[in-house]
Amino acid sequence: MDFTFSPQHVALRQMLREFCEQELAPRAKEVDRTGLQDPAILRWMGELGMFGIPFSQEYGGAGAGEMGYCILMEELNRACPSTATIIGAHIGIAAMSLYLDGSPELKRRYMPDLCAGRTIGAFGLTEPGAGSDAAGIKLRATLEGDSYFLDGQKMWITNGPIADVIMVLAVTDPALGARGGATCFVVETDWPGFSAGKPEKKMGLHGSPTSLLNFDEVRVPKENVIGQVGMGFVTFMKTLDIGRVSLGAATLGGASVALDASLRWVKARSQFGRPIAHMQSIQFKLADMATEIEALRALVYRTAWLVDSGRPFVREAGMCKLLGSETASRCIDRALQIHGALGVSRDFHLERGWRDARIAEIFEGTNEIQRIVIASELLQEIGVRIHP
């Protein structure tokens, strides 16, 4: 066994840490306030190769694997969770679905621009009536001649208002439903009939625009089918499985930056004649945070190794998302408590971190769904099949 990072991964983290601390962190408050990340920053990050970290160099990626991608997400989320979410949705689910199952021709057409950040991707799964129950999607794709016509709605789509390319799951055979009757497509957002709604007003992640998508008879050429017709649900579920690992890595960043802030504060803040670091109520919170973060770090990077080494990882990926989101929420909540009144002040970054972190317990499969998936795998091994 070897738990050290490769020299390339160490160098990658160092480069990212510097960039994130110098360029992203100082802007994060403004991004939250205005709800916008500067497109020039995103372009710059694209030029630095951050939009294609896990993908092979053949398609314009950096070839750093899931391990490199997890390092990216951990570092981004330390500095600016909104920006991390833009890039996470772009790489982890949008580009990833194409990368996993797209034909070489389709990948050559879209991946290089996605990897360079010249185009921004989104992943269209959720609908008003299909959240946790993703198989309940209704958006229709009807074949006429050489093209499909997409008709329906998607909602809560991260990057919806800024995306150039959207990977969309649509029902091609209503008789079969999502399993066997759903297909995924690459849709360019300047095609006629497509429109994105206004960004939703949310509690956190203000700089990560989320919106409704309308498809009004959008014509999509047959070549833009990702993988096989009827196999789209499988592609999307596989994509989400991998995405849960990097989401775990992102939550690791959120949790660890909260611990770092707490360590600075408990030394600087005195009450009752000494730094609050001398209070056991504080010490135990710090110890719990550090312990949970260490467990999460081990789980996330071990799971990344499972992915990169071609081993089964689905159960562990669900655990990364589940443990990660709850660890981050707990750690940031403890950090807020340690900071007292400053913790709830919008003059300071912790309340933003607290608001931003909460959605990780919900999106990309609620934690209830993760528990169902994990339990379902455990029970399947002893011959018990469960239903949500």
Partner 1 sequence: MDFALTEEQQMFRDLFRDFAEKEVAPLAEHNDRTEEPPIALLKRAASQGFMGATLPEQYGGAGMDFLTYCLLVEALARHCLATSAALGIHTMLSAMTILDAGTETQKQTYLPRLAGGELGTFALTEPEAGSDAGALQTRAVRDDGHFRLDGVKSWVTNGGPASVHVVLALTDPGAQRHGLSAFIVDAKTPGLTVGHREPTLGMRSLDIRTLYFDDCRVAADNLLGELNQGWPLVLRAFNRVRLSLAAAALGAAEGALALGVKFAVERRQFGAVIAEKQAIQNYVADCAIEIEALRHMVEHTAWLADTGQEYGPQASMAKYFGARVAHETANKMLQVHGGYGFSDEYAISRVYRDVRALRLLGGTDEMQRYAVAHDIFQDQGLKIQP
**What is the distance between the alpha carbons of residues 326 and 332, in angstroms, rounded to a whole number?**
10
Coil/strand/helix, residue 130: strand
Amino acid identity of residue 351, one-letter, is E
CB 347, min distance to partner 1, A: 6
User: At 210, which helix (H) or strand (E)?
Assistant: strand 210-221
**Which of residues 383 and 388 has its CB atom nearest to partner 1 in the complex?**
388
Own/partner long-range contacts of 192-196 (Cβ < 8 Å, ≥24 apart) = 192/218, 192/219, 193/150, 193/217, 193/218, 193/219, 194/218, 196/157, 196/160, 196/161, 196/163
Of 237, 239, 281, nearest to 373 by C-alpha is: 237
**Which of residues 9 and 206 has its CB atom nearest to partner 1 in the complex?**
206
Contacts of 271 (CB under 8 A, 6+ apart): none
Contacts of 372 (CB under 8 A, 6+ apart): 386, 388
**What sign has the CA pseudo-torsion 115, 116, 117, 120?**
negative
81-to-51, 58, 131, 264, 341 alpha-carbon distances in Å: 16, 29, 23, 21, 23
**Which of residues 56 and 132 has its CB atom nearest to partner 1 in the complex?**
132
**What is the distance between the alpha carbons of residues 25 and 111, in angstroms, rounded to a whole number?**
28
Residues annotated as catalytic (active site), given as ranges: 364
Question: Which residues lie near partner 1 (CB under 8 A)?
Answer: 126, 129, 131-133, 136, 156, 200-204, 270-273, 279, 281-282, 336-337, 340-341, 343-347, 351, 354-355, 358-359, 361-363, 366-368, 371, 387-388
Question: How many other CB atoms are found less than 10 A from the CB of residue 301?
Answer: 23
CB 178, min distance to partner 1, A: 12
CB 120, min distance to partner 1, A: 21
CB 186, min distance to partner 1, A: 24
CB 363, min distance to partner 1, A: 6
**Which of residues 366 and 376 has its CB atom nearest to partner 1 in the complex?**
366
Of 230, 229, 224, 293, nearest to 258 by C-alpha is: 293
**Which of residues 83 and 210 has its CB atom nearest to partner 1 in the complex?**
210
CB 204, min distance to partner 1, A: 7
**Which of residues 102 and 254 has its CB atom nearest to partner 1 in the complex?**
254
